[in-house]
Structures are given as C-alpha cells and as structure tokens.
C-alpha cells in the first residue's frame, strides 16, 4: 500500500524543475519505470531517487545536471538491472525531443545525457 503523505510530498517536490530537460527527463523516468516495474514499485523508486538527488538546500529536481547521481541511485536499487532501464529511458527521452537515438559503444547514461543536451542546444531546444 502506498504511503499517501509521502507520495504527496514527492509530487510537490517533483513539480519544481530547473529546466525543460529536467522536467521531460522526470516524465520519461516515471513512464518507463511504471511500464517496466508497475506503478507501486515505480513510485517507491522515484521517491528514493528524488531524495537521493536532492541536496539539503535544493528545492528543485536537477537530474539533467548530474546524471551520475541518478544513475548511481538507480544502480543501488536495481543492481545491473538498471542498464536496460537506463537505455530505455534515454531512448524515450530522445523520442520525446524528436531526435534520433544512436546507440554508441561504451556510452554511459551520463554520456547519452550530455550528447542529448548538446543536440538540443544545436536544435535550439535547450
């Protein structure tokens, strides 16, 4: 059973983003986790990720600025199972911005995020 008070706290925090990129990334993370793991498990993971990413004095979600923190937190929860989920998140994020995803050998979640932000800058979408 979901803890409604805890979920409401996360919803309030999650509504404040620094950039459009962070907002879209959070939408994709939520969608992918719900499709792969189900709504309840996704809710708990998102709550953990948000509080892991937020620093004490921050009030905004900034996954886009430090993808390594997000990636490490996801790995803490899912172990090596996070790799295909991260790939799916990146693929869906490229689609969300209407850009073509090209898989690169040895790229990490952070590498793809940096490449996507570079492409968005070139297309005037950042």
Residue 15 Ramachandran class (φ > 0 left, ψ -120 to 50 alpha, else beta): alpha
Angstrom distance (rounded) from CA 32 to CA 54: 21
What CATH number has the domain bearing residue 80? 1.10.1200
Q: Give the residue among 109, 46, 106, 39 at the shortest CA–CA distance from 72.
A: 109
Q: What does 96-109 look like in DSSP terms, one character per residue? A: HTT------TT--H
Alpha carbon of residue 77 to chain centroid: 14
Query: How much is the pLDDT for 122?
Result: 72
Alpha carbon of residue 117 to chain centroid: 14
96: how many CB neighbours lie within 10 A of its CB? 15
| Dihedral sign (CA 72, 21, 19, 7) | negative
Angstrom distance (rounded) from CA 85 to CA 48: 16
71: how many CB neighbours lie within 10 A of its CB? 19
Instruction: Work out how many domains the chain is built from and give that number.
Output: 1
What are the φ and ψ backbone dihedral angles of 17, each rounded to 5 degrees? -125, 150
Q: Which residues span the domain enclosing 91?
A: 4-122
Per-residue pLDDT of the chain (126 residues; tens, 9 = 90+): 444 444 454 454 444 556 778 778 888 989 999 999 999 999 888 887 777 766 545 555 555 556 777 788 888 888 988 889 999 999 999 999 999 999 999 998 888 988 888 888 876 665
């Amino acid at each position: 059973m979901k803890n409604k008070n805890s979920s409401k706290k996360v919803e309030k925090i999650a509504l404040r983003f620094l950039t459009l990129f962070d907002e879209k990334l959070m939408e994709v993370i939520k969608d992918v986790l719900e499709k792969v793991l189900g709504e309840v498990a996704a809710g708990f993971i998102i709550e953990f990720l948000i509080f892991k990413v937020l620093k004490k004095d921050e009030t905004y979600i900034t996954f886009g600025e430090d993808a390594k923190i997000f990636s490490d937190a996801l790995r803490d929860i899912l172990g090596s199972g996070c790799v295909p989920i991260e790939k799916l998140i990146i693929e869906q994020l490229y689609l969300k911005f209407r850009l073509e995803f090209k898989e690169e050998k040895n790229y990490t979640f952070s590498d793809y995020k940096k490449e996507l932000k570079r492409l968005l800058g070139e297309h005037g979408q950042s």
